[in-house]
Amino acid sequence: MGAAIIRPDGRHRWPAVTLDDAALLASLPALAYQASLVFCRMAAATMLLPGLGEQEVPANIRLGLGLLVTLLLLPLLAPLLPSAPEAPFALLGLILGEVAIGLWLGSLARLLASAMAQAGQVIGTMMGLTSPLQGDLVLGAQATPLGRLFGFVATVLILATGLYALPLAALLHSYTILPPGALPAGPAAEAMAAMVAQSFELALRLAAPFILAGVLFNIGLGLVARVAPQVQIFVVAAPAQILAGFGLLMLLLPAILLLWRGAMEGGFNALPGAP
């Protein structure tokens, strides 16, 4: 619609509505419906996706990222969306289904990425750094400083290496295998359980050298206590355990980061809908 035209008598006259304007106005309800469906899945996922949906980021910023992703992907996804149902309850079911799919996909990626924080928690325990516990929003519980640090390192690596784009690509292509309202509960639960197991396995692989070193260290302390009872073993054990742990961490940290990055790339490429 054009700007108002001022007639000689001073009154405003709006130009007639053209066919293009009428078509645009008629398409607005369908466009709003499509944008709402896409936003429900994208916003729910970006609230949890590693690198983008960190708990330290305010919720309104994460929702803004979801809106931005929606605006960017809507032209690509619009042909894949179903027409708007006439029944209100059917529309509500579609919206809730899209939120569930987004939360499910975001949780899968979040569980896999949390392996680094879990490994840091185990390593900190093996090093004797369990006293200064603090809240960890990634694990949702009290964590050691090393576990907290590993969580931050994981976020930095995801953003610096571009790994955050892989879950977004899986989210985009998920519409080909999971159209709106088509989330099978059984396979979804199986995928979630498999991802939990994969995350724990990766965390144990990352922390395995420290677990082995911790067991050997405690066996050595027991032998020293038996051979030389006069030695104040608890006075010597704590600083030696921390010092040896940091030395081993300095040696193995590059390998840990490379192993974790490779596992993240493979795991993100195996997400449902990944190209």
274 domain residue, yes or no: no
Spatial separation of the C-alpha atoms in residues 148 and 160, rounded to whole Å: 19
2 domain residue, yes or no: no
pLDDT digits (tens, 9 = 90+) for 231-242: 777 777 888 888
The structure tokens listed for 68 are 């931005």
| Amino acid letter, residue 264 | M
pTM for the structure as a whole: 0.81
Task: Quote the mean pLDDT of the chain.
Answer: 83
- In Å, how far are 125, 200, 268 from 272, measured between CA atoms? 34, 20, 9
Asked if the model's pLDDT at residue 141 lies above 80, the reply is no
Domains of the chain: total = 1
pLDDT digits (tens, 9 = 90+) for 66-115: 899 999 888 888 888 888 787 888 888 889 999 999 999 999 999 999 99
Characterize the bridge pairing of strands 141-143 and 134-136: antiparallel
Phi/psi of residue 142, each to 5°? -70, 135
pLDDT digits (tens, 9 = 90+) for 210-233: 999 999 988 988 888 788 777 777
177 domain residue, yes or no: yes
What percent of the chain has a predicted confidence (pLDDT) above 70?
85
Asked if the model's pLDDT at residue 7 lies above 90, the reply is no
Domain that holds residue 201: 15-269
Confidence band, pLDDT 50/70/90 cuts, at residue 183: confident
pLDDT digits (tens, 9 = 90+) for 16-50: 556 555 555 556 777 888 888 999 999 999 999 99
81 domain residue, yes or no: yes
124 domain residue, yes or no: yes
Distance of CA 56 to the CA centre of its chain: 13
5 domain residue, yes or no: no
Spatial separation of the C-alpha atoms in residues 161 and 147, rounded to whole Å: 21
The structure tokens listed for 110 are 């979040």
DSSP 196-231: HHHHHHHHHHHHHHHHHHHHHHHHHHHHHHHH-TTS
